[in-house]
Homo-oligomer: A and B are copies of this chain.
């Protein structure tokens, strides 16, 4: 008779411990399924995620362009031409003046651009440093009208979804006023669409994956140099990160699973009547500190 309460308690104990761990596991999977709390579609998160960020960085190097340091890397002398001070100052002013003319331009002329120039600006982007000299970038230059239009349809479809979500109830009222927000004519008009993919990992000869650490930073730096190269020849673009389109565009362009879309740049001459938003840049003292 005394055994009954003990048994009941023991039974309840076991039962509840099991419950407890079930609750624990459910919480656990919930958080790890969506580690960045990003958009609700897992397949998008999966494809947009920078795999290198999802891995430990304990085994990488902090200095770039030096994958096999400490092993048998050979060093060569480096003695570039040196400018006198006054010339340096002048050169730094000239380059600033040129880059400061750059604006994000949405009104692009359909006039053709020499392919040789596209080759040279991408070559220039390819001189960027990268984590462990992995050069984890792929530039896809699209000039085929049909392919450009299919890219436009994918981008505009997602954009419309985003704007509708953003507008919510207000939407039905003034739809027309906002259509311009997701209509991207320049995707048909620009002579070239340059889609830049980051390679989140590489494939080694033994078919093992090699993580490309800092692949997003590396490819973004290359894009900075690409923007400078475009500005240097008088071509314009608008930096865009097509929202949730990465997977569809990757499949459309038949890029492998280790490549994730980072940026889409429509490239061409500015249209005759091009306008840009009247934006100012921060003064130097807001972005530069001297210690």
Contact = CB atoms under 8 A, between A and B. Distances in A.
A129 B104 contact: yes
B221 A227 contact: yes
Nearest to A221: B224
Contact of A65 (B32, B103, B216, B243): B103
Contacts of A39: 56-58
A91 B135 CA distance: 24
A133 B282 CA distance: 10
B281 A135 contact: yes
Interface residues of A, number: 151
B102 A127 contact: yes
A100 B124 contact: yes
Contact of A178 (B62, B70, B107, B238): B70
A140 interface: yes
A48 to B, nearest CB: 9
Interface of A is mostly: mixed
A45 to B, nearest CB: 10
A103 B127 CA distance: 9
Contacts of A70: 177-178, 180-181
A63 to B, nearest CB: 5
A37 interface: yes
A41 B253 CA distance: 40
A278 to B, nearest CB: 5
Nearest to A116: B89
A78 B274 contact: yes
A169 interface: no
Interface string A34-52: 0111110000000000000
A239 to B, nearest CB: 4
B88 A279 contact: no
Contact of A129 (B89, B239, B262, B269): B239
12 contacts: A9-B9, A62-B162, A65-B238, A69-B277, A78-B107, A92-B121, A95-B124, A96-B127, A96-B229, A139-B287, A141-B289, A144-B291
